Structure 1
């Protein structure tokens, strides 16, 4: 199994377990010490409903970005560092509510591009 596929499976499972739904489409690219992951189709029907108002959009954006950051800060998902052969040191993540698209940049201690 390719590293990208295994990485995507871990990320999808984390989001599904946290929010009740994982991304419908997910793509990861490894560059030096980073894994850059694009995700489409992230929101649950409830989140889509809430995001119909401006305040709702802000609430969904905040929940999605802050919860994921806190989750990774408290515990790195099982198998992620082993798969990449390096310690995760930072996670940058954002979601564009209108387009239901998220981007996460995982920064590791050392180069994870090979392998």
Structure 2
């Protein structure tokens, strides 16, 4: 199981690095029935951190990060993700605390995974 979680985290890290120029520094994932719940630490680029120094900038980074990642997963789940867990991704719920630089993603699949 830990090998599968490690591979799952690598897929998430690579996608976010490709999208944003920086992947999370650390990811903790648990599988629960038909869900994978991932907590991602150290997500922001130095530029995003600078932009988020104002409340307007913080809102902008939050919206960009959460909306973009949800749109990407909705249109095209990362290669190998569904094959790894043996189920189809049906929803992704994602949010981020910009000041704390922590994100949470809940991946919901069409059946129990692993």
Tell me the TM-score normalized by structure 2.
0.97
Residue 58 of structure 1, CA deviation: 0.1
The residue correspondences of 1:1-115 to structure 2 (distance < 5 A) are 2-112=3-113, 114=114
In structure 1, the gaps of 5 or more residues are none
- The alignment's C-alpha RMSD in Å is 0.8
- Runs of 4+ aligned structure 1 residues displaced above 4 Å come to none
Residue 93 of structure 1, CA deviation: 0.2
In structure 2, the gaps of 5 or more residues are none
In the TM superposition, what whole-angstrom CA distance separates every residue of 1:42-82 from its partner, at most 9, and x where no partner exists? 00000000000000000000000000000011101000000
- The count of residues paired between Structure 1 and Structure 2 equals 113
Residue 37 of structure 1, CA deviation: 0.3
In the TM superposition, what whole-angstrom CA distance separates every residue of 1:1-42 from its partner, at most 9, and x where no partner exists? 711000000000010000000000101100000000000000
Q: Distance in 1 between matches of 2:70 and 2:43?
A: 16
SS in 1 for 2:8: helix
Q: Distance in 2 between matches of 1:105 and 1:25?
A: 16
